[in-house]
Chain A
Amino acid sequence: MVAAEMVAAADATTAENRTLTAPQKSSDDIIAEFVDVHRHYQMGDNLVRALNGVSMQVKRGDYLTIMGRSGSGKSTMLNLLGCLDRPTTGEYRVGGRDVSKLSDDALSDVRGTEIGFIFQSFNLIPQLTVLENLEVPLFYQGRVGPESRKKAEYLADRVGLGQRLEHRPLELSGGQQQRVAIARALMNDPLFLLADEATGNLDSNTESEILNLFDDLREKDGITIVMVTHNPTVAERADRTLWLKDGEVEKLIENHRNAAVAGEHA
């Protein structure tokens, strides 16, 4: 709790005071929203309609997975959600702001302040230590300092890394590396975590550890999670699963696990 207070204090300077210890599960405000999003690519003479009118919403505290076969538009959706790409038409609102027409620099800022990326292959920077890796997102916001170090220490502890801040990524196991990546994604207090096959490179034991960590983060800290996956076991742990097919929303399945849990209790 002490550490959490420090983090809260460190964060007091930012306009929006979203801390890990302030779960806002009850509020159902929409933090990310697709409104009839199209993404078309010109491939030679063919027009590829990677996304073809997708609308969806992510609410605060949500745990959403996006599934679909390859070619269904999953990756495109991920890129758009992560502000790495812009829709051809339609609106993408992050925290109520339409980001679909923003400049490259402005999009970089949105990525740096609102989104926490977690990748399949961890994507840590090998020449940097764990601590330095954690500080990368804040560096681009000009917020590296004693506070960022405290925050990194707190988050490393929170994700179960303990005292490994001075290690290099390659000295760590896959599970540990992914924990670093999760901590890094949380460094900028994002609106939501955006995970791309976060457990795809891990064995099944480590996979369940990481998935437990996600559950824990959501329950205790109210973190919103959007995960793209093709693994049904992973998708089962989420509240909702959005199925994509041929660039369109095929179906939205609510609450597998929670329904099951509720059923058990009934």
Chain B
Amino acid sequence: MIRDSWRIVRLGLKSLMLHKLRSSLTTAGILFGVASVIAMLAVGEGAKREALERFRDMGVSNLIARSKKPAETQSSSSQSSWTALAYGLLYSEADLIKASIPDAEVVRIREIKRPMMRGEYFHTSIIVGTEPKFLKVASMTVREGRWLSDTDNERLMNVCVLGATLARMLFPLENPMDQTVLVSGNDRYRVVGILKEQGRTAGAGSTPYDECMFVPINTSRRRFGDSITTRSGGSFSRERVELNEVKVMMQSSDEVPAGARILRDLLDSKHKENSDVVVTVPLELLRQEEESKRMFNIVLAVIASISLLVGGIGIMNVMLATVTERTREIGIRRALGAKKKHIIQQFLVEAGVLSALGGIVGVLIGIALPFGITYYFEQQTHILPQHVLLAFCISAGVGIVFGIYPAWRAANMDPVDALRHE
């Protein structure tokens, strides 16, 4: 039985070898179909994972309110350079949030960009002033030493915890623990802890937390104040910001929608005119992403089906030509005792082999392609085994489905006419 099946498959291969170019061109249709299906699924899966990671980094049970510098208007640019531009979240608002959502953990965050120095090593990064609860809300862990404590905060201690990357940059050759970092040339902070590397993109604005330095929020307020003066091109601009971010961690993701409603209502009433506060709900973004992913998947599926359909039509076309060409062979086989089912079997297997060959090469290319995409476009890709299997099975299935009609035609030829065919 197995030997006979192998014989039929080998016969199919031999017959396809009669027209190498034609067979390979036909195969190409399926090949590109399968390869593109696998590649597209891998890119889609990669994008999905990337998004998932990003939102998970932000925390699916978190709500994030962030201060945003309002878009500069005509009037604001003409105002006196000594008038500070005040925007964003206030300490009083953070207290209000805490009071309105009592079950939640509320963490206040102030971010200030400052040059940091340790010996000859120098780096300008963000100093994050925050509270002890931050560690839990941002789901980070300490690698060495300890995290900021309530005592640090109450006593305005000049201590800091370094992100893993920043620790490497400032202390490439020594252990940073208990050493001091010089900020803005005159402020010294003792390193009490180093965070474990996160490798995430989420952080203070566009700076990942791995590159940040963490200090108690009270210390930061005392040292740097709320108003920041920056000089650019000879003119000064002053900004007054109390808090850059407030993270609200709900007890579970189920409570996120309710919490989001309260937070939005509260902040909308305070920041109506100038939209200087943005509320981000990672869970909502995740849902949106999943929604758009679904659309993307449908589009993908449609494109893939079209390409496989075209490949299938190609196979049908070639099989019809083959059947016509080999009418004589069909007649001979019928005369030598082949039943209709044998002829159907032969041509179905041939069509199946044709598309499966395309499928195999397509799978190989389809697996290779995402690596290239990842390499050249820095787009995360992920190949799932079931996607590969699916694409291959579809290709073989396409061959068989589109081979049915040609095979049926071959089997139903009159043997007498078939033998007489030139």
A residues in contact (CB < 8 Å) with B: 79, 82, 84-85, 104-105, 108-109, 111-113, 117, 119, 123-128, 136-137, 139-142, 144-145, 184, 188
Contact = CB atoms under 8 A, between A and B. Distances in A.
A84 B334 contact: yes
Given A84-B415, A123-B419, A127-B17, A111 B329 contact: no
26 contacts: A79-B416, A84-B335, A85-B416, A104-B339, A104-B340, A108-B334, A111-B334, A111-B335, A111-B337, A113-B337, A117-B336, A124-B332, A125-B329, A127-B11, A127-B15, A127-B17, A127-B18, A128-B11, A136-B333, A139-B4, A139-B7, A140-B333, A140-B336, A140-B339, A144-B3, A184-B336
B339 A105 contact: yes
Interface of B: 3-4, 7, 11, 14-15, 17-18, 328-329, 331-342, 415-416, 419
A94 B14 CA distance: 36
A68 to B, nearest CB: 18
Given A123-B328, A140-B342, A84 B419 contact: yes
Contact of A108 (B17, B338, B416): B338
A244 B45 CA distance: 76
Nearest to A185: B336
Nearest to B331: A123
A136 B338 CA distance: 9
Contacts of B7: 139, 144
Nearest to A123: B332
Contact of B4 (A85, A117, A144): A144
B335 A117 contact: yes
Contacts of B3: 144-145
Closest 10 CB pairs of A and B: A112-B337, A140-B337, A108-B339, A137-B336, A127-B14, A123-B332, A84-B415, A117-B335, A105-B339, A111-B337
A30 to B, nearest CB: 23
A117 B331 CA distance: 12
Contact of A188 (B334, B337, B415): B337
B144 to A, nearest CB: 73
B337 A108 contact: yes
Nearest to A104: B340
A140 B315 CA distance: 26
Contacts of A119: 332, 419
B145 to A, nearest CB: 77
A125 B4 contact: no
Contacts of B18: 126-127
Of B17, B18, B334, chain A has the most CB atoms within 10 Å of the CB of: B334
Contact of A109 (B11, B17, B337, B416): B337
B20 to A, nearest CB: 12
Contacts of A109: 337, 339
Nearest to A181: B332
Contacts, number: 70
Contacts of A124: 332
B336 A111 contact: yes
A119 B332 CA distance: 9
B332 A125 contact: yes
Nearest to A129: B14
A139 B339 CA distance: 11
A235 B3 CA distance: 43
A145 B7 CA distance: 11
A79 B341 CA distance: 21
A231 B53 CA distance: 86
B271 to A, nearest CB: 79
A126 B336 CA distance: 15
A248 to B, nearest CB: 21
Contacts of A123: 328, 331-332, 335, 419
Contacts of A188: 337
Contacts of A139: 4, 7
B21 to A, nearest CB: 16
A113 B389 CA distance: 43
A136 B342 CA distance: 12
Contacts of A108: 334, 337-340
Given A85-B416, A127-B15, A144-B3, 4 more contacts: A117-B336, A123-B331, A123-B335, A126-B18
Contacts of A112: 336-338
Contacts of B339: 104-105, 108-109, 140
B337 A137 contact: yes
A17 to B, nearest CB: 19
Contacts of A125: 329, 332-333
A24 to B, nearest CB: 23
A113 B328 CA distance: 21
A78 to B, nearest CB: 9
B342 to A, nearest CB: 6
Contacts of B14: 127-128
Nearest to A187: B336
A209 to B, nearest CB: 23
A126 B326 CA distance: 10
B186 to A, nearest CB: 89
A79 B416 CA distance: 7
A84 B418 CA distance: 11
A235 B333 CA distance: 28
A196 to B, nearest CB: 9
A111 B332 CA distance: 11
A126 B333 CA distance: 12
B365 to A, nearest CB: 28
Nearest to B334: A108
B416 to A, nearest CB: 5
Nearest to B14: A127
